[in-house]
A and B are shown apart, each in its own frame.
Chain A
């Protein structure tokens, strides 16, 4: 197998605002060419911080203390802002979480989609418009011309997410970061969007880092996955293996917490306290041994 497309190595980060509390604890993961890699964890586990670190949009109160983000042999963390800007949009693109806020309300879809195509793919205004129309057709939008001439508020949530997916994949990046792309959508639309991402990804051979808190979603789309808790990798492996035989107690607890339609009485219990206690002890031991931090 060739070198992975994205290789995060021992990425560590702290929150400057919160008494230097660790946010990421030596996270390592790889995304191979043409692979969909799930990044799963509850809120606050550090999933978004990883996505933001890749995209160079880490908030100012978070500081990366260690590690590297290898992309095509270069460390994204070490790139100058100018070099990073050249990579972003051309090789790496984002499908954002909330389609209702990720599109600029005062610009038409046309303008927003063609911006990237013109800047990053060097198309003329006319070519970009044609390309944008074709892209919208690819995400199964029936009347692309009307959508291109619309403002975001004139489209439904699912439609907007399709536009965002079309815009991201339209740049023909090598890696797409999908940051909870279905969380803000209702379940029926979720399914279509997942199928869409998967088919585009397969057709273009794109690697996808799929950030989600929902095992049900991850199970549908991901080849491999990484389970994160308090910024530490708990378990990593192929989706089928992890779901069929989770090794870590936290993964087991997370899986058990998923509601099941066949047994409505199960699945709503909170994570057992002994699991949480064991997790905290594990994290504390890790901090003491590897990071040399005071316990938080």
Chain B
């Protein structure tokens, strides 16, 4: 666990979580309060900066820092809930397919094949068209599309683990099938699963940003990084910071999730941990 990757990336994510939870306390201003007289003031240190707005204001005079902080709430909620659910559903089906084999495996594997042949963007827009926009739709869209990722990997891993000598040995002690699956096989898949889950969190953050960029995520009165990027794009020539700040936040978060996944995969594997 002393891996600098894990410490840095994990620390950043942890900080982000704390800030997101404590957003009303941490944010210097109300993220929705408009002040057209103070519109597009640059960040501190640039000519024309206002002392109250550390990272400047947007086209409607709203405080960019406060909006980024509140935007983290949406991003992190989606990251944890969507990736978690996709992981849960995909891994369960993958474990079943890999462990039971035969008919169950054939059914689940074909389902995954058909599912993955469907264009994901089309699928998510279709889904949102049916169940409407909002946070729950974004989460549903990510789960519905990305469970296959977990299912495939977990199925393959389970299949290869099931043939290992120690699984055969466990069968010769007379362990039941669930006991073998959860005690012998699952612990060997967990490192891969955690890496995959953390990577998926990064992906979920990006997907949420894309969907809110095109206005398919939460309503526009909730600040989101994607929504801020969309607004910032229109006035990038007058006020670059409105685009740059949420972009950096998004970028840093995704990098942190990816690095954390990579580091955790290493430090959780008892053989690699040496």
The interface of chain A, by Cβ under 8 A from chain B, is 55-57, 84-90, 92-94, 96-98, 101-107, 112, 115-116, 119-120, 151, 153, 164, 171, 177
Q: Residues of A contacting B183 with CB < 8 Å?
A: 107, 115
Asked whether, in the complex, the Cβ of A104 is within 8 Å of the Cβ of B188, the reply is yes
Establish whether residues B173 and A102, one from each chain, have CB atoms under 8 Å apart when the complex forms: no
Contacts A89-B172, A93-B173, A104-B188 aside, 15 further interface pairs with beta carbons under 8 A come to A55-B171, A56-B171, A57-B172, A86-B174, A87-B174, A88-B172, A88-B173, A90-B174, A96-B165, A101-B165, A102-B166, A105-B166, A106-B271, A107-B184, A151-B271
- Whether A106 contacts B165 in the complex (CB less than 8 A), given A115-B183, A116-B173, comes out as no
Docked-complex contact B271 and A105, CB < 8 angstroms: yes
Q: Which of B166, B172, B191 contacts A104 (CB 8 A)?
A: B166
Enumerate chain A residues within 8 angstroms of B18, measured Cβ to Cβ.
none
B residues less than 8 Å from A104 (CB atoms)? 164, 166, 170, 184, 187-188
A101's nearest neighbour on chain B, judged by CB, is: B165
- Give the top 3 A-B pairs by smallest Cβ distance, nearest first: A88-B174, A89-B173, A85-B174
Q: What's the least CB distance linking B116 to chain A, in Å?
A: 28
Count of CB-CB pairs between chains A and B under 8 Å:
80
* Shortest Cβ distance from residue B80 to the other chain A in the assembled complex, whole angstroms: 25
Nearest chain A residue, comparing its CB with the CB of B187: A106
Contact A103 B166 (CB under 8 A): yes
**B274 at interface by CB-CB < 8 Å:** yes
Q: How far is the CB of B143 from chain A (nearest CB, A)?
A: 28
A55 lies within 8 A of B172 (CB): yes
Contact among B169, B175, B270 with A94 in the assembled complex (CB-CB below 8 Å): B169
Point out the residues of chain A lying under 8 angstroms from B173, CB to CB: 88-89, 93-94, 115-116, 119-120, 171
Min CB gap B172→A, angstroms: 4
CB distance from B242 to the nearest CB of A (A): 48
When chains A and B are docked, how far (Å) is the Cα of A171 from the Cα of B171? 15
Pull 11 A–B residue pairs with CB atoms less than 8 Å apart, ordered by A: A56-B171, A56-B172, A93-B172, A94-B173, A96-B168, A97-B165, A102-B169, A104-B184, A115-B175, A116-B173, A119-B179
B189 closest partner in A (C-beta)? A106
Task: Report the separation of the CA atoms of residues A105 and B189 in the bound assembly, to the nearest whole angstrom.
Answer: 11
Interface residue total, chain B, C-beta cutoff 8 A: 23
Interface string of B60-90 (1 = CB under 8 A from A): 0000000000000000000000000000000
Known contacts A115-B183, A153-B274, A106 near B269 by CB under 8 Å: yes
- A106:B174 contact, CB within 8 angstroms: no
Q: How far is the CA of A101 from the CA of B126 in the complex (A)?
A: 48
Which residue among B172, B183, B184 has the maximum number of chain A CB atoms within 10 Å of its CB? Answer: B172
Kindly state the separation between the CA atoms of A102 and B172 in the bound complex, as whole angstroms. Answer: 11
Question: Could you say which residues of chain B place their CB within 8 Å of the CB of A115?
Answer: 170, 173, 175, 183
Closest partner residue, chain B, to A173 (CB atom) = B173
Residues from chain A with a CB closer than 8 A to the CB of B174 are: 84-90, 119-120
Interface of B is mostly: helix
**Chain A residue at minimum C-beta to C-beta distance from B164:** A101
How many Å lie between the Cα of A216 and that of B175 in the bound state?
35
User: In the docked arrangement, what's the CA distance between A98 and B164, Å?
Assistant: 11
With a cutoff of 8 Å between Cβ atoms, the chain A residues found around residue B170 in the complex are 104, 115
Determine the distance from Cα of A98 to Cα of B166 in the docked complex, in whole angstroms.
10
Contacts of A86 in B (CB 8 A): 174
Can you name the residue of chain B whose Cβ is closest to the Cβ of A102?
B165
Q: Once bound together, how far apart are the Cα atoms of A114 and B184, in whole Å? A: 13
Complex CA distance for A85 and B172, rounded to whole angstroms: 8
Q: How far, in Å, is B152 (CB) from chain A's closest CB? A: 21
Taken residue by residue from 140 to 168, chain B's Cβ proximity to chain A (1 for < 8 Å, 0 otherwise) reads as 00000000000000000000000011101
Chain B residues whose C-beta falls within 8 Å of the C-beta of A112 in the assembled complex: 166
Tell me the complex Cα distance, A97–B190, Å: 27
| B188 nearest CB neighbor, chain A only | A106
Q: How far is the CA of A87 from the CA of B172 in the complex (A)?
A: 10
Tell me how far the C-beta of B151 lies from the nearest C-beta in chain A, rounded to whole angstroms: 21
Residues of A within 8 Å of B269, CB to CB, are 106
B83 CB, min distance to chain A CBs, angstroms: 23
Pairwise interchain contact A101-B172, C-beta atoms closer than 8 A: no
Tell me the bound Cα distance from A104 to B187 in angstroms.
9
Report the minimal beta-carbon distance from A143 to chain B, rounded to whole angstroms.
20
Q: How far is the CB of A114 from chain B (nearest CB, A)?
A: 11
Report which of A92, A107, A177 forms a contact with B187, defined as CB distance below 8 A: A107
CB-CB < 8 A to B187: which residues of A? 104, 106-107
Q: In the assembled complex, how far is the CB of residue B75 from the closest CB belonging to chain A, in whole angstroms?
A: 32
Task: Tell me the complex Cα distance, A104–B171, Å.
Answer: 13
Question: Does B172 contact A94, Cβ atoms closer than 8 Å?
Answer: yes
User: Distance in Å from the Cβ of A169 to the closest Cβ of chain B?
Assistant: 13
Known interface pairs A103-B166, A104-B188, A106-B187; A153-B271 also in contact (CB < 8 Å): yes
Contacts of A92 in B (CB 8 A): 172
Q: Which residues of B contact A116 (CB under 8 A)?
A: 173
Complex CA–CA separation, A116 to B173 (angstroms): 7
Are B274 and A57 closer than 8 Å at their CB atoms? no
- In B174-211, which residues have CB < 8 Å from any A CB? 174-176, 179, 183-184, 187-188, 190-191
